[in-house]
Amino acid sequence: MRWLGIVAWKMEAVSKKPKRVSFHKEVEVQVAAAADEEQQGNVDVEEDVEEDEEEELDPYVCWADKSIHIGLLQTSTDVPSLTTFTPEFTHQVVGESEKVVGYEGLDIQLLYSAGALTPFLSMNYEECITDEDPYAQPEDPLPMIREWLPADGIMTSRDAFLAKVDADATEFRPLPSLVPLSVESASMAGSAPSVESSGSASSSAALVEARNDNDTYELTVVGSEVEGFKEYHARAQTFCIWYIESASFLDLEDDKWRVIYLYKKQTSPDGKGSTYSLLGFVSIYLYYAYPENVRPRISQVIVLPPYQRQGHGKRLLRAAYQYGMTLDNLVDITVEDPAPSFTKLRDVVDLENCMQHKDLVHFKFVSTFPTAFLELAQSKLKLSRLQTRRMYEILALFAVQRGELMPEQFETIVQTRLQQALKKEQLGRERMRHVLDADMLAQAQARDEAMVKQCDAQAQALVLEYAQVLRSVLS
């Protein structure tokens, strides 16, 4: 075994009789150590960057991501205690430098009513470069921001905006849903059920989770045929530009788009009704699949910063799956260019879903990806082929942990897939061997060795990824 030792499947004998090391415990140690090292590395890098930034910036130059403050207000009384958040990306708005020139102490406020998302935009600063040099020309960042906001409805009067916030709190209601979505089903998560049981987990477990939660949530799925959708999502998708790198807006005229919104529902201040706060949304495009089928693709998933790390990403992804299952002639549900953080979330949710099915968990794992597993997973969960293969490997690792599969067998399963490209190149070279000279063959051999090392490195990374996913689901 070249690489499986990184998760400490075995250890060197410390006495004459070798001891078997607990896989789960050793994986936790290895993953935790890697996470600590990575976190420490990130801290060091961030500190160095911050020091560089402080040295590089001139007095009248501000970082856009530190100057733009975004906030959500449920009522006007939230203002004294309002906690704003800053964007992760600003390059599409203010330029690649991500700086605003001409001000000291720049404070740009982009506020929204929490449910209806009525926007308010203002700018303040401590000093302007014209105070020192009357001929200097400071940049005006507000027009740059307005380009990404809806053309109508941007408020600039604070008093008028606060009055609108209170009106929205009383009057706003989510758009009507095209199909009913169950928050309980979308909340089914946490610890995986016993793999000894077959079929789906009962809804009572989800209802218990909902009852134990202090908040009430609502889901709604809408599209262009729903009145008010275009205007509402024109406001909602403005968050994408700050939190998705190289984000683009949806074509709201395209009737193939679906958006699922997640709201928190609370009792209104007067106690006579309810107020709604948008927590996040997921956008889905309904692609055609031959001959008369549909293949939904998840495009964007946004959880607003105040509500992150509270399980809402899981709720949205499960809601997307729940909606997909309502479609006629569904082939599978895919994802468009997932970020690493979303890949982890997707793995956890998909593995939790797999754990509901005994025939998937206790499948007889072999080195060649079996068609039977693909058909079984796609019929039950509508996973894409690539994601099904990933679940196959994670479940194989779980089988090793339970002692149902040897570590060497798991290594073969992963390496068989990773080395497919290498074997394809080698097969093509064998067919062309009669026209290749010695130098070309030597270069090809060197490429083969490099690809083998690359496969080993990928395998090491995958084992850690899979172990983290298993730990998240089983803990």
Statement: residue 139 has pLDDT above 80 = yes
Statement: residue 105 has pLDDT above 90 = yes
Backbone angles phi, psi at 85, to 5 degrees: -130, 155
Q: What's the pTM value of the predicted model, to 2 decimals?
A: 0.81
* Percentage of residues in the chain having pLDDT higher than 90: 65
Q: Indicate the SS3 state at residue 39.
A: helix
* pLDDT, averaged across the chain: 84
Among all chains, which residue has been given the structure tokens 């290594």? 411
pLDDT of residue 214: 54
Tokens matching residue 423: 């074997």
Statement: residue 207 has pLDDT above 60 = no
Q: What whole-number distance in Å separates Cα of residue 34 and Cα of residue 7? A: 11
What is the band of 442 on the pLDDT scale with cuts at 50, 70, 90? confident
Q: What whole-number distance in Å separates Cα of residue 457 and Cα of residue 466? A: 14
pLDDT of residue 30: 46
pLDDT of residue 25: 43
Lowest mean pLDDT among 54-58, 253-257, 268-272, 308-312: 54-58
Q: What whole-number distance in Å separates Cα of residue 353 and Cα of residue 320? A: 14
The H or E element spanning position 99 is: strand 99-101
What is the band of 196 on the pLDDT scale with cuts at 50, 70, 90? very low
pLDDT of residue 439: 81
Backbone angles phi, psi at 62, to 5 degrees: -125, 145
Contact 392, 414 (CB under 8 A): no
pLDDT of residue 194: 44
Q: Which residues pair with 258 in a beta bridge?
A: 284
pLDDT of residue 204: 31
Q: Could you tell me which residue, 20 or 356, shows the higher pLDDT?
A: 356
What contacts 5, CB < 8 A, 6 or more positions away? none
pLDDT of residue 217: 95
DSSP codes, 444-472: HHHHHHHHHHHHHHHHHHHHHHHHHHHHH
pLDDT of residue 425: 72
Q: Could you tell me which residue, 132 or 403, shows the higher pLDDT?
A: 403
Q: Could you tell me which residue, 169 or 58, shows the higher pLDDT?
A: 169
Q: How many CB atoms lie within 10 A of CB 417?
A: 19
pLDDT of residue 17: 34
Mean pLDDT of 340-352: 96
